[in-house]
């Protein structure tokens, strides 16, 4: 009996400790900075800097894991917490922006007038998020596998994507994963549904 009580206490303490890991807190300050990022990533700027400023049909070679779509989120939803997916979003987005930066010459307008600053802004937001949501739990296996493939130096099976599509996907999944920040006039849109992006003003370009 004593043993059972001790066990119960341990479970209870474990839960108390684990609680902050399950919920990620999006502070008003974090949301404000995420919304500035949203503005910088709006459809017309993405089109100008990530499509028109590149040669027609220009593509980059990326790993499959470097594209983070809405579909990925719904697939991973059962096996990972929101916190894990948000973390993954930060990692994949960071890689995406860096990847585009590596192909841009120093003086390219997309680098100078847009992407470098966007990346700096992004890093600050990421740091702010990590601070407020410190990682204390175990990373689920599915997420660990994805991270491993992202780092795999013998990676096989690259795919070609346009620079714009990398950030289009990042933009949509950001809305899905941080939807509390994107409540408009009290309305919570279902950003996780692909339909949301089909009908709207958001051009897929």
The helix or strand, by DSSP H or E, that contains position 159, with its residue range, turns out to be strand 159-161
Among the listed ranges 8-16, 69-77, 94-102, 132-140, the one in contact with ligand NAG (CB under 6 A) is: 69-77
In terms of phi and psi (left: phi > 0; alpha: psi -120 to 50; beta: otherwise), the region of 57 is left
Output the CA torsion sign for 67, 68, 69, 74. Answer: positive
Sole residue written with tokens 């994507």: 161
Query: Considering only CA atoms, which of 144, 191, 174 is closest in space to residue 34?
Result: 174
Q: Which of 97, 146, 161, 174 binds ligand NAG (CB under 6 A)?
A: 146
What x/- string results for residues 97 through 136 when contact with ligand NAG is judged by CB under 6 A?
A: ----------------------------------------
Sole residue written with tokens 């995406």: 96
Residue 203 touches ligand NAG, criterion: CB under 6 A: no
Residues in the chain: 205
Question: In this structure, are residues 24 and 30 in contact, taking their beta carbons and an 8 Å threshold?
Answer: no
Output b/e per residue, 69-84; b: 16+ Cβ within 10 A: bbebbeebeeebbebb
Q: Which residues contact 44 (CB under 8 A, 6 or more apart)?
A: none
Least distance in angstroms from the C-beta of 127 to ligand NAG? 22
Residue 58 touches ligand NAG, criterion: CB under 6 A: no
Least distance in angstroms from the C-beta of 30 to ligand NAG? 20
Q: Which of 1, 5, 28, 44 binds ligand NAG (CB under 6 A)?
A: 44
Main-chain phi, psi angles of 160, to 5 degrees: -100, 130
Residues in the interface with ligand NAG (CB under 6 A) total: 22
Q: Please report, as residue ranges, which positions from 152 to 191 form the binding site for ligand NAG (by CB under 6 A).
A: 176, 184-185
Among the listed ranges 11-19, 35-43, 131-139, 167-175, the one in contact with ligand NAG (CB under 6 A) is: 35-43
Least distance in angstroms from the C-beta of 72 to ligand NAG? 4
Sole residue written with tokens 């070609």: 160
Least distance in angstroms from the C-beta of 49 to ligand NAG? 11
Which residues contact ligand NAG (rule: CB under 6 A)?
39, 42-45, 56-57, 64-65, 67-69, 72-74, 77, 92, 146, 176, 184-185, 192
């Amino acid at each position: 009996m004593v043993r059972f009580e001790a066990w119960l206490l341990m479970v209870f303490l474990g839960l108390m400790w684990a609680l902050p890991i399950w919920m990620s807190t999006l502070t008003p300050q974090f949301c404000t900075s995420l919304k500035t990022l949203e503005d910088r990533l709006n459809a017309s700027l993405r089109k100008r800097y990530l499509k028109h400023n590149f040669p027609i049909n220009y593509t980059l070679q990326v790993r499959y894991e470097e594209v983070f779509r809405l579909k990925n989120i719904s697939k991973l939803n059962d096996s990972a917490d929101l916190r894990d997916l948000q973390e993954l979003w930060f990692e994949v987005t960071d890689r995406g922006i860096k990847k585009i930066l590596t192909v841009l010459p120093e003086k390219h307008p997309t680098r100078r007038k847009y992407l470098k600053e966007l990346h700096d802004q992004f890093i600050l937001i990421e740091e702010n998020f990590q601070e407020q949501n410190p990682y204390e739990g175990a990373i689920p296996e599915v997420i660990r596998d994805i991270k491993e493939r992202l780092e795999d130096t013998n990676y096989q099976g690259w795919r070609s994507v346009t620079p714009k599509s990398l950030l289009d996907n990042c933009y949509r999944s950001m809305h899905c994963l941080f939807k509390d920040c994107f409540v408009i006039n009290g309305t919570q849109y279902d950003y996780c549904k692909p339909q949301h992006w089909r009908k709207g003003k958001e051009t897929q370009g």
